[in-house]
């Protein structure tokens, strides 16, 4: 969990460098990261050291709203699920950045990745706002420059190393949630 949270903090930091139009996205992600940190640092923190132990603890103690929103709007399971769904978007987006041609538009790649993943969990108004924000993404080269990794080849190589790790984390979480039937927490 500590590493999961640290990873998200790094992503949010990067997102913040892209400008204030992404503020509403960053704010939501920060809020969710903050919920997980509070659980991890709270008095029941020992149960939150791994995603597996969190799921077990919260389910065994009825700390999750399973069918309709209720007493536990900020459960660890619900909160992490929101970030988990966003991780799938990230995986698709980074993979398209890695393999795209020089003249590809990041806004289109980002919107395609979003439409294939996270968008299905969002209401119309959020989808619209996200679509508008995507249009303001820097172009491919400028985007690579802010990543501050080096040449395009170095960025592509870094993404080639990072994406399989993101996929692995995504898959482990997805399998765990599927096994406990908690992929639809409201």
Pick the stretch among 43-51, 62-70, 78-86, 171-179 that binds ligand 1PX (CB under 6 A): 78-86
Pick from 77, 110, 182, 185 the residue near ligand 1PX by CB under 6 A: 110
Is residue 185 within the footprint of ligand 1PX (CB under 6 A)? no
In terms of CB distance, is 40 or 86 closer to ligand 1PX? 86
In terms of CB distance, is 56 or 138 closer to ligand 1PX? 138
CB of 85 to ligand 1PX, least distance (A): 6
Residues in 116-135 that interact with ligand 1PX by CB under 6 A: 118, 126, 130
Q: Report residue 30 as tokens.
A: 């920060």
| Residues 128, 89: Cα–Cα separation, whole Å | 16
CB of 13 to ligand 1PX, least distance (A): 9
Is residue 24 within the footprint of ligand 1PX (CB under 6 A)? yes
| Residues 4, 24: Cα–Cα separation, whole Å | 21
Phi/psi for 151 (5° steps) reads -70, 165
Which residues are CB-contacts of 84 (< 8 A; sequence separation ≥ 6)? 170, 173, 174, 177
Q: What is the DSSP string of 40-84?
A: HHSTTGGGGSSHHHHHHHHHHTT-S--SS--S-TT-HHHHHHHHH
Pick the stretch among 34-42, 63-71, 83-91, 173-181 that binds ligand 1PX (CB under 6 A): 83-91
In terms of CB distance, is 101 or 124 closer to ligand 1PX? 124
In terms of CB distance, is 47 or 85 closer to ligand 1PX? 85
| Residues 135, 154: Cα–Cα separation, whole Å | 26
Cα dist. 121→79, 86, 161 in Å?
14, 10, 28
Pick from 147, 157, 169, 183 the residue near ligand 1PX by CB under 6 A: 147
Which residues are CB-contacts of 139 (< 8 A; sequence separation ≥ 6)? 105, 106
CA atoms in the 13 A half-sphere facing the CB of 95: 14
Q: Which residues contribute to the site for ligand 1PX (CB under 6 A)?
A: 11, 14-15, 22, 24-25, 28-29, 82, 85-86, 89, 110, 114, 118, 126, 130, 137, 147
């Amino acid at each position: 969990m500590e590493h999961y949270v640290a990873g998200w903090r790094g992503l949010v930091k990067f997102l913040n460098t892209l400008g204030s139009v992404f503020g509403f996205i960053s704010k939501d992600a920060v809020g969710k990261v903050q919920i997980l940190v509070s659980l991890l640092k709270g008095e029941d923190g020992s149960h939150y050291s791994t995603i597996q132990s969190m799921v077990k603890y919260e389910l065994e103690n009825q700390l999750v709203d399973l069918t309709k929103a209720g007493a536990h709007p900020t459960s660890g399971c619900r909160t992490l699920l929101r970030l988990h769904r966003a991780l799938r978007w990230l995986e698709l987006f980074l993979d398209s950045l890695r393999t795209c041609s020089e003249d590809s538009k990041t806004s289109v790649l980002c919107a395609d990745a979003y439409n294939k993943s996270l968008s299905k969990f969002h209401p119309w108004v959020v989808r619209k706002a996200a679509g508008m924000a995507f249009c303001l993404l820097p172009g491919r080269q400028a985007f690579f420059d802010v990543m501050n990794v080096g040449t395009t080849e170095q960025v592509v190589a870094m993404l080639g190393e990072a994406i399989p790790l993101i996929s692995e984390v995504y898959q482990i979480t997805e399998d765990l949630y599927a096994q406990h039937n908690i992929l639809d927490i409201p």
